[in-house]
A and B are shown apart, each in its own frame.
Chain A
Amino acid sequence: MVIKRPEQIPSSEITDKKVYLNRRNFMRGAAMLATVVATGELYRRLNEPPQPTPRGEKLAGVQPPAPSVRSTSEKLTSFEDITSYNNFYEFSTDKGAVARKAKDFVTRPWTVRVEGLVNKPKVYDLDDLMKIAPLEERIYRLRCVEGWSMVIPWVGFPLKALLDEVEPLSNARYVAFETLFDPKRMPNQTTSVLDWPYVEGLRLDEAMHPLTILATGLYGEALPPQDGAPVRLVVPWKYGFKSIKSIVNIRLVADQPKTTWSMYAPNEYGFYSNVNPNVPHPRWSQARERRIGEYGLRDTLIFNGYAEEVASLYTGMDLKVNF
């Protein structure tokens, strides 16, 4: 066996140590870069940042709020925040993902059936619904049961105007609302995170209260899908989940209707769900809230600051029992 001596390899064929090391370093650098890009990509996939929402179609003939309605001079929450931070489990349980998932939600044609204990049941087309009363701007605080809040310039009309049209019977004591059920259009309805369709309810006097509105817009424009297009309830002194979105059915009934969250966790979410800093959620305090766009925490106000208008609806009731 011939063992070549090192001298027999011409020195020109030996890879220079520098080149060898350079190549090695280059490969390592490339490997490092590739893994970093992959990790970054994975992080972005799992934690997608919200995308800005395009502005909607301007609603015509929006009136200033009726003088009888106390407005607020608090700073409005930005359009961007209102339309990118949403609880709308029909699309996603991730507040930042709802806007993206609801982007192509088609809301025309849309009808709302009003029925039950009424003299004149009727199926309203969306356009008819919006002609029931002049659209007004209503700037309300919205307090979510999770502990955050916003100030939103809604556009809508009092629910009372609609109820007056259908003429509730004397035995009607509650109003039951229902969201659209259509898993093809509301993709998260294929999961069982909640019982679908989403249902909500109000006592008739709560529903007739001048602060209670059906909203069809915000910031003077048609409601974006993630905020409950095309028509939603807004009850400003109750936790946000009471203000049911994308309504297709309104039913006047004699007995207290079932509501989605109180069916899901009766000890955590009551039928009334009035904003109340003195009644903690079983798993967290409701004493303070984070106003979206602010750094600190604010004190939560009883009835979300609408006590003057609505406290009388609950005189004699123990709010700790009827939470």
Chain B
Amino acid sequence: MKPEDARFIKAIIFVNSLVPLALLAWDAAHKNLGANPLEYVTRTTGMLTLIFLMLSLAVTPLRKMTGWNWLGMNRRVLGLYAFFYGSLHFLTYIWFDRFFNFKSAVGDVVQRPFIAVGFASFLIMIPLAITSTNKMVKRLGGKRWNRLHKAVYVAGILGALHYWMLVKSDTRLPLTFAAVLAVLLGYRIFSANRTTKTQTRPTIIPR
């Protein structure tokens, strides 16, 4: 793929990832967020965080299955969007549920375990976002970087758990996220096993 095409695909993904935010802002400006706008914004940003987490996790399996290597370069931006929407989700909570009263937020973490779980998921994403630059990959070394970034699965699991813990009875959506996560994680484990097996008996592929 030509670099300019790669750039264009990146631009498409970057811009499209902003569309939900743009519509959310549009709806907010037009007072079209329903009767409980804060709940709406919290729910929407939370959903977007989970969706972008799943999308970023789906990149590598998809790339391997399709052989479309250009997918790989879009993993970082999807992961960063997950962190971005996660930050908005956290900000909505701290602002409109706790009114920047951090002491009450700490108390809330104890009283509402689902808040603690969601917060843990968010905390895990912070170092991953910080170490997402090329420079950091070099500084940490590919292997260590990869090991660190496996934590994104923990963030995803905690995120889905956070959602599951807060719904009253309709667990279909949280369970869907969990199922997607299980498939992605399952694929990872499966392909890791396979590569270690092939590594023990290397074959030379004629080119």
Residues of A whose CB lies within 8 Å of any CB of B are: 28, 31-32, 35-36, 39-40, 43-44, 47, 49-50, 77, 80-82, 84-85, 89, 93, 95-96, 146, 148, 191, 193-194, 264-265, 280, 283-285, 290, 292-293, 295-297
Contact = CB atoms under 8 A, between A and B. Distances in A.
B19 A40 contact: yes
| Size class of the contact patch on chain B | 20 to 34
Contacts of A31: 12
Given A36-B19, A148-B36, A193 B108 contact: no
A162 B33 CA distance: 40
A49 B39 contact: no
B170 A49 contact: no
Contacts of B112: 283-285
B192 interface: no
B144 to A, nearest CB: 35
Interface of B: 8, 11-12, 15-16, 19-20, 23, 27, 32-36, 38-40, 44, 47, 96-97, 99, 108, 111-114, 165-166, 168-170, 172
A283 B34 contact: no
Given A284-B112, A285-B112, A296-B99, A43 B169 contact: no
A89 B36 contact: no
B85 to A, nearest CB: 12
Contact of A284 (B99, B111, B170): B111
B34 A264 contact: no
Contacts of A297: 97, 99
Contact of A49 (B34, B114, B166): B34
Given A43-B23, A47-B44, A93-B169, A283 B35 contact: no
Contacts of A193: 169-170, 172
A290 B32 CA distance: 18
Nearest to A145: B168
Contacts of B39: 148, 290
B165 A85 contact: no
A83 B176 CA distance: 29
Given A85-B35, A285-B112, A264 B169 contact: yes
A96 B40 CA distance: 9
Contact of A44 (B8, B23, B97, B114): B23
A39 B34 contact: no
A39 B27 contact: no
B12 A32 contact: yes
Contacts of B44: 47
Contacts of B20: 39, 43
Ranked nearest first, the 6 interchain pairs of A and B with the lowest CB-CB distance are: A85-B35, A81-B35, A93-B170, A39-B19, A193-B170, A39-B16
A29 to B, nearest CB: 11
Contact of B19 (A43, A264, A284): A43
Contacts of A194: 169
